[in-house]
Amino acid sequence: EFARQGAEVELILGPSEQQCVHPNINLHNVESAQQMYEKVRELFSDMQISVFSAAVSDYTILNKRNNKIKKTEETLSLSLKKTKDILLEMSMLKSEKQFIVGFALESDNEVYNAKLKLKNKSLDMIVMNSLNDEGAGFGYDTNKVTVISRKGDVNLFELKSKKDVAKDIVDLVIRDFL
């Protein structure tokens, strides 16, 4: 939506089936959380508006294996380690001229937890998705979001196409950024 409205966009995209072809989009494909962190870190200081629309993964496997794990036991335990919180790290590097939007997928105490993330990560805006909203989120072409700004504005949007949701979010970002 930013590109459609004329902005030059640096899109950092992990493994995905999404096709992002637009003359205003510079696409950067990455395969791992570490690669995503490095690319974000490289580009971040030149960005006016940064939208962190999806978390990479909170954890990565500690001892990755390149071969098949044979089925020999009834149970299997995997050791995980926390990945870098890219959004948090970039928010600590943010200048006064930069605007950061985060996303929060919540299932309990949704607005409270989204506001907490907004505050704890020093964001300008957060877009909250609920796992409890029918027809919204993953696996649907529709979504229903709540957008909360650092100023305290709360905008509730009804279920609509993801394209329309993106337009609503971009309009709010532009309004608050300018």
Q: What would the pLDDT profile of 71-118 be if each residue is shown by its tens digit?
A: 888 998 889 999 899 999 999 999 999 999 999 989 899 999 999 999
What is the reported pLDDT for 50? 98
What is the reported pLDDT for 4? 96
Contacts of 137 (CB under 8 A, 6+ apart): 105, 129, 130, 131, 143
What is the reported pLDDT for 11? 96
Residue 57 neighbours by CB distance under 10 Å: 14
- Residue 24 tokens read as 């205003």
What is the reported pLDDT for 135? 80
pTM of the model: 0.89
What angle in degrees, to the nearest 10, is found between the helix axes of 86-93 and 33-44? 20
Q: What are phi and psi of 138, to 5 degrees?
A: -65, 145
Spell out, as residue ranges, where the chain has pLDDT lower than 50.
none
What is the reported pLDDT for 153? 93
Query: Using CA atoms, how far apart are residues 13 and 15, in angstroms rounded to an integer?
Result: 7
Residue 134 neighbours by CB distance under 10 Å: 10
